[in-house]
Structure 1
């Protein structure tokens, strides 16, 4: 607890100077204490961090998933890439009666391949065999 008294000045002060002084008795001036995080503050910081991480996972996580649909039984087979094979030759061998462009697009989606990326020899690809 502190007590403050206002005391009038006894001498003449120049123009613009305060006409009275304050004297404080009791508690010392407040010392700047370090900032401490309360339990509620910790919960808020953790919640905000989790919200940011979840948002990033939702936004950028869809680029990692190869496809949103599970293939039906017997509609997909695996092929190991041999030297000289391309997506077009693999698609033509897997579905000779179907549109090759559509089959290539399905292979790219099923395996999350990048557009224009070369196929590494020995890689295993999921290839659709029927519609």
Structure 2
């Protein structure tokens, strides 16, 4: 095509290394955009993102005769106690022995 601005220019060719670099760059940009869109806590696993500033975890002191179920039912009466108990176990590192003792301080999951 005479007079075409592209005449005389060879087509762009990417080497295998160039394709790898391009794919890695696109993947990195995509992950950064997802991280920025979903928030910094999105990939944190057990951390919960609430859109606002994070607040310190609320704590309770276990009373004599009190169980995790009792504490969960009182702390978040509108939720399924089984889920709240599991979140308390995870939050307080009680996976090996979920028994609580009077006077023990427990962090409560934010509701």
Choose between structure 1 and 2: higher strand proportion: 1
Choose between structure 1 and 2: higher helix proportion: 2
